[in-house]
Amino acid sequence: MDTETTAAPATPVEETAAPAVSEAAAPVAGAAPASTRPQDDRRGSFRGRSGGQGGRPGGRGEGRGRGRAPRERSEFDQVNIQVRRVARVMAGGRRFNFSVSIVIGDRKGRVGVGLGKAGDTALAIDKAVRDAKKHMITVARTESNSIPHMVEAKYASSTIEVRPSVGRGLVAGSAMRTVLELAGVTDVVTKIHTRTKNKLTIARATVAALSQLGAK
């Protein structure tokens, strides 16, 4: 009788242990899809962010250049003939400024030379362009875009000479060629009578010589 009474409770112990194991295994089996769901969400959100146009608004390639007015082309062409960096010794060290010389013209008879000085090259260029527009002249040209007669001028240490020569094209060098090209002058032969290499004075001497021709 003792063995029966001891064996009787052993059977329910086995029955209760079996569902306990299955209940513990159930959440483990269902945990696999639950763990992959946040990973899929993260991957999807990452692809959305890195997709450029398909990601967040304002991403790469979206909205670029919108709302910006197109830049108008200037009626004058400009060429930098000389850029110098000037150092000034101060109590705390040296300070640098930039000096820019520019020639502008429309290649139709109008040309000007300007000088601008500033602590930044962009600001110096703007000043030089405004100065060139203030001192712009109109050159009298012939039908072949040459000049009516020979002219000669002197500015500072530069002395130049410009002579008409039909069929020769533009024979010039240094800053004289830049000024004559932007003025639309061709079929001329030029000469620099001095040894100076200062392009600003050569350009201003050329403008002074062309101004002797008057306006057409």
Burial (CB < 10 A; 0-12, 13-18, 19+), residue 117, is middle
Residue 154 belongs to a domain: yes
Domain extent at residue 169: 77-211
Q: What is the pLDDT of residue 66?
A: 62
- Give the mean pLDDT of 67-81: 76
- Tell me the CA distances in angstroms from 40 to 28, 50, 54, 82, 132, one per residue in order: 20, 15, 18, 62, 65
Residue 81 belongs to a domain: yes
Q: What is the pLDDT of residue 18?
A: 46
Strand partners, 125: none
Least confident of 43-52, 58-67, 143-152: 43-52
What pLDDT, in 10s, does the model give residues 132-145? 999 999 999 999 99
pLDDT of 46 > 50? The answer is no
What is the residue whose two structure tokens read 């930044």?
120
Residue 127 belongs to a domain: yes
Q: Please tell me the distance from the alpha carbon of residue 211 to that of residue 135, in angstroms, as a whole number.
A: 11
CATH code of the domain containing 102: 3.30.160.20
Residue 66 belongs to a domain: no
Residue 135 belongs to a domain: yes
Residue 108 belongs to a domain: yes
Residue type at 209? A
Q: What pTM was estimated for this model as a whole?
A: 0.64
What is the residue whose two structure tokens read 């009787």?
8
Residue 187 belongs to a domain: yes
**Residue 47 neighbours by CB distance under 10 Å:** 11
Please give the tally of structural domains in the chain: 1
Residue 63 belongs to a domain: no
- Give the mean pLDDT of 18-44: 48
What pLDDT, in 10s, does the model give residues 22-34? 444 444 444 455 4
- Tell me the CA distances in angstroms from 7 to 10, 12, 19, 20, 27, one per residue in order: 5, 10, 20, 21, 33
HEC letters along 34-94: HHHHHHHHHHHHHHHHCCHHHCCCCCCCCCCCCCCCCCCCCCCEEEEEEEEEEEEEECCEE
What pLDDT, in 10s, does the model give residues 149-186? 999 999 999 999 999 998 899 999 989 999 999 999 99
pLDDT bucket at 214, cuts 50 / 70 / 90: confident
User: What's the mean pLDDT when you consider all of the chain?
Assistant: 78
